[in-house]
Amino acid sequence: MTTLQDCRRLDAQDPLRPLRDLFTLPEGVLYLDGNSLGALPAATPARVAQVVTQEWGHELIRAWNTADWASAPQRLGDKIARLIGAGPGQVVATDSTSVNLYKVLSAALSIAAQDAPGRKRIVSERSNFPTDLYIAESLARERGLELVLVEPEEIAAALDEHLALLMLTHVNYRTGAMHDMAALTAAAHAAGALVVWDLAHSAGAVPVALLQDDADFAVGCGYKYLNGGPGAPAFVWVHPRHAERFRQPLSGWWGHARPFAFVPGYEPAAGIARYLCGTQPQIALAALECGLDTLLAAEPLGGMAALRAKSLALTDLFIALVQERCAGHGLGLATPRAHAQRGSQVSLSWAGADDAGAYAIVQALIARGVIGDYRAGDGARHPHILRFGFTPLYVGFEDVWHAVEHLRDVLTSGEWRRPEFKQQHAVT
């Protein structure tokens, strides 16, 4: 049986503990939603103020050269590459994940049409994040293809001679279940198809080895585990074997080989730079760079491997405490127990009689300063979910203890049944 003292001891022994000081966290808040919006790095406000007052305010347009604004997408891309097992010059930080998905799906489908003409199928997971499915749906419509949605255990059987492209999110946003990137990529390649990975819940959360696992394309999010701030620029990667083959449809001037030649015809820049479209948001990129630097500060302490070890210890502890202390109230475990299949979050499924229960429990926790979130389900296969993200940079073992104690209080007291906790907000 784990005790509060055990948790305090784990914090005292944690070599990553000093990284928490790189963040500004409000008093009285236990923040378990870094899988949705990462916390504020302590360096960000001053850096953003510097970009605004000095670089923009004083340098004005000269800052594109003097403050090196022009190369920010590549500079940040190289930092992201260190977190996802990619090489320098292979990643750019730009646009949103949704927009980048449109670009990579278009590029991948064009390559597939050349290499394996006649293949008409894009396969993805039914519980993939909706924006991925919506973007794939519209591309399928545009190109006369078919989008087939399957459950995880049906993926292997869907890798056949009809498949052009497999599009998966590495760590599922609802359950926190993690796919085996190397095995699925190899299986899709063996079937003659390409693979696009969404790393929204992986980058900065779990070790990723894009080159080693031989992936084709990847996109990911800047505002979750990369701590880049709300709506931060996302990122995009392409394997060097496709570097000179792929074209993307949003052929804006920043992806041109010579943007300042101002010639009328489009000529894509070499490599990943062609994934840029328009003028890049420098204030947002500066904030994202502060977030990236919080993760890179872990490199001398063991980097992603050390963060992963702590993340698994935190999620193991949370699972064990919930089972010990919150049993009998209708909560189940939606996240796999096997470490190899778990991202950096724990999702609890709701099987209580009150359909609004999962949402209301999360609201009651938020009112107590324990911030997780809720994701609606659509039945027994995909139940309503309470999500708790564990960002090892700033979440400690004692935080986990107190979060579970609050959850236990909310459940045993029936506090969550209060009408105010059932009132739906626009953003959950």
Ligand X SMILES: Cc1ncc(COP(=O)(O)O)c(C=O)c1O
Active site residues: 129, 198, 223-224, 387
225 binds ligand X (CB under 6 A): no
| Residue the block writes with tokens 């579970």 | 404
97 binds ligand X (CB under 6 A): yes
250 binds ligand X (CB under 6 A): no
Based on CB atoms, which residue is closest to ligand X, 97 or 227?
97
Min separation Cβ 128 and ligand X, Å: 7
Min separation Cβ 417 and ligand X, Å: 29
- Which range, of 91-99, 375-383, 392-400, 414-422, touches ligand X by CB under 6 A? 91-99
- Tell me the site size for ligand X, rule CB under 6 A: 13
| Residue choice 198, 213, 216, 399 for contact with ligand X (CB under 6 A) | 198
- Which range, of 61-69, 92-100, 273-281, 310-318, touches ligand X by CB under 6 A? 92-100
Min separation Cβ 150 and ligand X, Å: 17
Backbone angles phi, psi at 299, to 5 degrees: -55, -45
Sign of CA dihedral 303, 390, 328, 427: negative
- Which range, of 145-153, 198-206, 280-288, 370-378, touches ligand X by CB under 6 A? 198-206
Min separation Cβ 230 and ligand X, Å: 10
127 binds ligand X (CB under 6 A): no
Based on CB atoms, which residue is closest to ligand X, 44 or 100?
100
275 binds ligand X (CB under 6 A): no
| Residue choice 10, 234, 276, 360 for contact with ligand X (CB under 6 A) | 234
221 binds ligand X (CB under 6 A): yes
| Residue choice 169, 248, 345, 349 for contact with ligand X (CB under 6 A) | 169
Q: Which residues bind ligand X (CB under 6 A)?
A: 96-98, 129, 131-132, 169, 173, 198, 200-201, 221, 234
